[in-house]
Chains A and B, each alone.
Chain A
């Protein structure tokens, strides 16, 4: 299908490979790579916002009896910190990699439904703006990210705070479900010839498992917040104890979503780590099959443990015992994965690039978080830990020590593919050292604070309880994290423009995304590759040099330059990849503006319901919802009959 035009490659200066530029081309794009980059920068932005919210919390707690912010603002800050980090920063940052990397890894030219992909992004974009608006106007949700009933009911929480929670997450959740459907179909249906399921790159496998969790768990959450929305907007009785409602129903529904959600945040990271460690150990992943099945098992068990968040509720010994045991079971597949990563490194030729450093740090820190997780699974012990800072320590070791460190590993690893340039290794190592010191300083004392009895979600504490110096350390750790995150952001911005040219495969990695130019041409693959093994780019090297274990390349590992001048002299990218898809006879879907219009309609539907609970003239604006429904309907029709798709 693709013509094999041979064009003499002139020495072209580095130039952006996108033929179209400008804001409009980004708004209407349906290219998975551009959408991935949109996700990337949006989520980095929200990562900073969530970090600033964390700094408010830690500054308030730096000394006892502090009055840096009010109790109410403190409630908003810890709630908004969680919502921003989970829904607007970490999930979308993994989504950035789903978008950019998965189609490349499976040898596809785009996702199954390019416009749906754009819709997912724009829905997230508007939902994020809504939550951000709530935060900057001091109307943010103030009930914790779990929003336990009945404090979320209107009579106890009359302001618009909880409405922003309900409606903002409704929008963001919709984005996740749409993307989930899209990626399940993409991964199952768009694989290159020869790529059987068990030949898929491990990251793609993890994404598939994650998406299955998203389309199922998010559906439960959608209903839970719909019921809460009806309670607040239309006076239903779901969670109102005065009229028979049972707050425990909310807790069950929430954690049926909430626990799979933590796997939604960590399983993609397992995939990233499983790509980074083999690449920098020069060894194939140890126990690929077991890794896949362990993750499927984690996803499966992840649905059967939700009540371990509710041990303190008093569900009775049988329920507690069941959920304690099922929770402990999860430690087994997780432990398998940790040993497999160590086994991968064992005997390998390890290169400690920044990406690898973050990956190794991930293993250590995530294991710490996992161990305190197993402590929580013991119901009697959990009763001591519930609602203390010990839980905060645990969640930050798995989310920061797990998800965030893993994402950093993934960013340093795939950044060259996204931007064609390497990130600065020196700044990267400063970032790594600062992050390791900062996170342990910030989060490790929380274990002790929790054991000494400091409660979560309390905006201040008396000075005579022996908590002072540990809180001070924790806050200083948070400041250090803020500082090195600044280094990281500087590194991203600078390297995207001035970093050393990366070339196709700067790390000598094994999967298909490294077989094409960096950044890839708009059509990704000139010819769809045929896949014969799990590591298409390593199979040749093994055959060239008998005696080298399968997958090891012959080159001297020390000669692989990282950010050095050597690779900087490479061409960027070759002239052939500048040819447009049309010239090569490759059909790509045209850009479309219906995704953003439809997303705006969805924002109108949910966003304007906020006005329903407001007083004055604004109250009447909730009729905008009806306009939103009409806009959605019109957009869907236009979408369905848009030519070229």
Chain B
């Protein structure tokens, strides 16, 4: 009764034997996301605390450094808006993937799981392009406070996307091997929690880092 077997659970979703009725893994993921909020929150807080305090350029938006030099703005807002759009659309794919798994639509599950992971990869491609471009424009981890805070924050997010892509890819492979029936939809739901969280955090980062001057 107390030892909660995940497989039993999924097979019997109507009869959850936890005290709250919420699946153990799902609650663990919500707790994990709570912890993640503090991780990202600390990185974002550091970014904001150091905003406008770089001694040398390049800066996110054109303006003056703390020492008074004029410096170029380096962020490409239209380009990153596009990659943001890609990432947000991947959340739609995630929803459709879960729906497909729940109604035992194997083909739909394969399609949407890989589509979601693929959109995540496209986002990572944009990020790789952006990082590379910044590197050649003279912005590295070591250049100034903007470089340090920006690369650590967005890199940390990118690492989350990468983990999510592997996660969804693994689920996709399970679907291909016909091992992802509706009885395991909880696994997909939890992956969805993670994926949506990574998306939501990007909205915050995009607004605070890119849009606010």
Contact = CB atoms under 8 A, between A and B. Distances in A.
B38 to A, nearest CB: 4
A188 B28 CA distance: 10
Contacts, number: 130
A83 B34 CA distance: 26
B117 to A, nearest CB: 16
Interface in B1-57: 1-6, 18-20, 22, 24, 27-28, 31-32, 34-39, 41-43, 46, 49-50, 53-55
Contacts of B24: 112-113, 185, 189-190
A223 interface: yes
A504 B182 CA distance: 45
A230 B35 contact: no
B174 to A, nearest CB: 9
A419 interface: no
B2 A110 contact: yes
Nearest to B44: A223
B148 interface: yes
A235 interface: yes
A182 B2 contact: no
Given A189-B24, A227-B46, A244-B53, A236 B142 contact: yes
A526 to B, nearest CB: 11
Interface string A166-193: 0000000000010011101100111110
Contacts of A296: none
Given A189-B18, A190-B18, A220-B42, A238 B148 contact: yes
Contact of A234 (B1, B32, B141): B141
B16 to A, nearest CB: 9
A110 B3 contact: yes
A645 B35 CA distance: 25
B205 interface: no
A223 B141 contact: no
A394 interface: no
Nearest to A221: B42
B54 A244 contact: yes
Interface residues of B, number: 40
A160 to B, nearest CB: 21
A235 B141 contact: yes
A190 B152 contact: no
A237 interface: yes
Given A219-B39, A223-B43, A109 B66 contact: no
A238 B24 CA distance: 38
A189 B141 contact: no
Contacts of B148: 227, 230, 236-238
A249 interface: yes
A568 interface: no
Given A220-B38, A243-B55, A244-B53, A112 B28 contact: yes
B144 interface: yes
A607 B4 CA distance: 35
A236 B141 contact: yes
A576 interface: no
Given A222-B39, A227-B148, 10 more contacts: A113-B24, A180-B31, A185-B28, A189-B19, A216-B34, A234-B142, A244-B54, A244-B144, A249-B46, A587-B3
11 contacts: A109-B1, A180-B35, A185-B27, A188-B19, A218-B35, A235-B142, A236-B141, A237-B145, A238-B149, A244-B66, A525-B2
Nearest to A226: B152
Contacts of A238: 46, 50, 145, 148-149
B53 A246 contact: yes
Leading 10 A-B pairs by shortest Cβ distance: A219-B38, A223-B42, A236-B148, A189-B18, A235-B142, A215-B35, A109-B2, A191-B19, A108-B2, A244-B55
A563 interface: no
A185 B23 CA distance: 9
A245 B55 CA distance: 9
B77 to A, nearest CB: 25
Contact of A219 (B5, B6, B18, B36): B36
B3 A588 contact: yes
Interface of B: 1-6, 18-20, 22, 24, 27-28, 31-32, 34-39, 41-43, 46, 49-50, 53-55, 66, 141-142, 144-145, 147-149, 152, 170
A587 B55 contact: no
A589 interface: yes
A128 interface: no
Contact of B3 (A109, A217, A640): A109
B198 to A, nearest CB: 16
A123 interface: no
Nearest to A589: B3
Q: Which of B31, B39, B144 has the most CB of A within 10 A?
A: B31
Nearest to B16: A189
A181 B31 contact: yes
Q: Which of B32, B35, B53 has the most CB of A within 10 A?
A: B35
A107 interface: yes
Interface string A550-592: 0000000000000000000000000000000000001111000
A107 B2 contact: yes
Nearest to B179: A641
A243 B19 contact: no
Contacts of A227: 46, 148, 152
A180 B27 CA distance: 12
Contacts of B49: 246, 249
